[in-house]
């Protein structure tokens, strides 16, 4: 009897932590796309999410298994059919990929995938003068969007700033200095993982520990679950000080809009 590869389509998503992350990442994209009135497609090889977002990383193709050369050609062809020519979209993989320049894609980079096991609370990282609230009203969502645009920075029109996403598996948070929104974070809670995202602080309020506080708040929405995130190389030391460890480097390519 042969061993499973860990990536057969009928295997439980919880077979490995990496499989859980892949499906969490894909299903977060699906939720954002379908909740915001966009489109979604899933094949055995990849997941395609198109929320028509101004933030290009929302328009994502996620590989669901280690790709063969045939898989990659089919996935890129399917993506070119699925996305309008005007859309910029990204191809996300937790596995190394060959050079896809000849397929019309450009390399974005290799962000570290980082993990922090559950069961501990990371106490002591909260910043006393930062009031953190979970987004539940249109005004709070507007505050979240403003900080995300100015602090991430992210172009206006990102799909996550949509009232129809509230109350689902995505949790959004705003940090207030007095009455002024100055920091944000969020988390997707899917497949037994807390996927930390959208950590941003306004430029004039950095260096006060606000980004760390927002990260801790997001990763503690369910302290018993592992927290994961994709980091930049600059941000990696910050997350390591919070107990995250780098597991592997992912790969991101993109196809720019063909009409711009």
What are 65-80's pLDDT values in tens digits?
999 888 999 999 999 9
Residues 234 and 133 placed together within one structural domain of the fold: yes
20/175 Cα distance (integer angstroms): 29
212 occurs within a structural domain: yes
**High-pLDDT (> 70) share of the chain, %:** 95
pTM above 0.75, yes or no: yes
- Statement: residue 119 has pLDDT above 60: no
97 and 36, same structural domain?
yes
Number of domain units in the chain = 2
* pLDDT given for residue 125 in this prediction: 60
* Least confident span in 78-82, 115-119, 250-254: 115-119
237 is a domain residue: yes
Structural domain includes residue 77? yes
Q: Does residue 66 share a domain with residue 157?
A: no
Separation in Å, CA 116 to CA 16, 82, 143: 15, 35, 28
Average pLDDT over residues 21-47: 96
Q: What percent of the chain has pLDDT over 90?
A: 83
Same domain, 224 and 140: yes
Does the pLDDT value for residue 128 go beyond 80? no
Within a domain: 6: no
CATH number at residue 160: 3.40.630.30
Same domain assignment for residues 159 and 182: yes
pLDDT at position 149 is: 95
SS3 assignment for the chain: CCCCCCCCCCCCHHHCHHHHHHHHHHHHHHHHHHHCCCEEEECCCEEEEECCCCCHHHCEEEECCCCCHHHHHHHHHHHHHHCCCCCCEEEEECCCCCCCHHHCCEEEECCEEEEECCCCCCCCCCCCCCEEEECCCHHHHHHHHHHHHHHCCCCCCCCCCCHHHCCCCEEEEEEEECCEEEEEEEEEEECCEEEEEEEEECHHHCCCCHHHHHHHHHHCCCCCCCEEEECCCCCHHHHHHCCCEEEEECEEEEECCCCC
- Let me know whether 139 and 51 are in one domain: no
pLDDT of residue 145: 95
Q: Is residue 78 part of a domain?
A: yes
Range of the domain at 188: 116-247
My answer on whether 126 and 243 are in the same domain is: yes
């Amino acid at each position: 009897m042969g061993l499973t590869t860990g990536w057969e389509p009928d295997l439980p998503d919880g077979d490995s932590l990496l499989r859980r992350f892949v499906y969490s990442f894909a299903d977060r994209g699906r939720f954002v796309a379908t909740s915001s009135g966009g489109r979604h497609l899933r094949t055995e090889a990849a997941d395609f999410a198109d929320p028509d977002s101004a933030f290009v990383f929302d328009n994502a193709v996620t590989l669901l298994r280690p790709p063969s050369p045939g898989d990659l050609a089919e996935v890129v062809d399917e993506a070119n059919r699925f996305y309008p020519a005007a859309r910029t979209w990204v191809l996300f993989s937790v596995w190394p990929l060959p050079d896809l320049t000849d397929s019309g894609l450009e390399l974005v980079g290799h962000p570290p995938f980082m993990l922090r096991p559950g069961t501990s609370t990371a106490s002591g990282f909260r910043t006393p003068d930062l009031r953190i609230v979970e987004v539940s009203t249109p005004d709070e969502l507007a505050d979240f969007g403003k900080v995300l645009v100015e602090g991430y920075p992210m172009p206006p029109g990102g799909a996550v700033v949509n009232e129809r996403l509230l109350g689902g598996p995505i949790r959004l948070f705003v940090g207030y200095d007095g009455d002024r929104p100055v920091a944000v974070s969020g988390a997707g809670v899917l497949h037994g993982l807390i996927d930390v995202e959208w950590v941003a602080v306004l430029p004039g309020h950095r260096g006060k520990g606000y980004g760390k506080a927002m990260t801790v708040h997001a990763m503690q929405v369910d302290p018993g679950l592992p927290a994961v995130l994709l980091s930049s190389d600059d941000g990696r030391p910050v997350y390591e000080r919070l107990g995250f460890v780098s597991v592997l480097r992912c790969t991101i390519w993109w196809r720019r809009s063909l009409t711009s």
